[in-house]
Amino acid sequence: MKGDDIAERLLDFGAAVIRFSTRLPRKPWGRHIASQLVRCATSGGANYDEARRAESRRDFAHKVQIAAKEMGESIYWLRLVQRAGLVEDDMRALVREAAELTSILAASAKTAKAPRRSL
């Protein structure tokens, strides 16, 4: 089905972030960051999955835009963890994947919003 590759990447990203979040400190601020990060990282995939069942192009574009925003928020939380030095892991791969997914989803929304060309 069209979009399966992106759906799988979003699912893999969400799973990777869940695993990563277990390495955050078990302090109140660590639990807060982990919760926020897991919510947005998994929400991107859920919103994209919902977009694939959209009732119209407009509905699809809106839901894909939400998925892109969630991926953008994931980047923020990952960068915050990195900037604060909360884990020793190299997080570049997670940040890069979130950025790529954000770009793909934003481009998909833009394409869906564009007027259809007739042949």
Query: pTM for this structure?
Result: 0.91
CATH value at residue 24: 1.20.1440.60
Question: What is residue 119's predicted lDDT score, i.e. its pLDDT?
Answer: 59
Nearest C-alpha neighbor of 98 from the set 35, 45, 59: 45
Kindly list the averaged pLDDT for each block of 10 residues, start to end, along the chain of length 119: 86 97 94 97 97 94 97 97 89 95 96 77
Torsion, Cα 55 108 16 36, to 10 degrees, reads: -70
Question: Does 119 fall in a domain?
Answer: no
Residue 11 exposure: Cα atoms within 13 Å on the Cβ side: 7
- Number of domains, the chain: 1
pLDDT at residue 1, rounded to an integer: 66
Q: Are the beta carbons of 1 and 41 closer than 8 angstroms?
A: no
Domain extent, residue 17, equals 4-113
Considering all CA atoms of the chain, what is the largest pairwise distance in Å, rounded to the nearest integer? 59
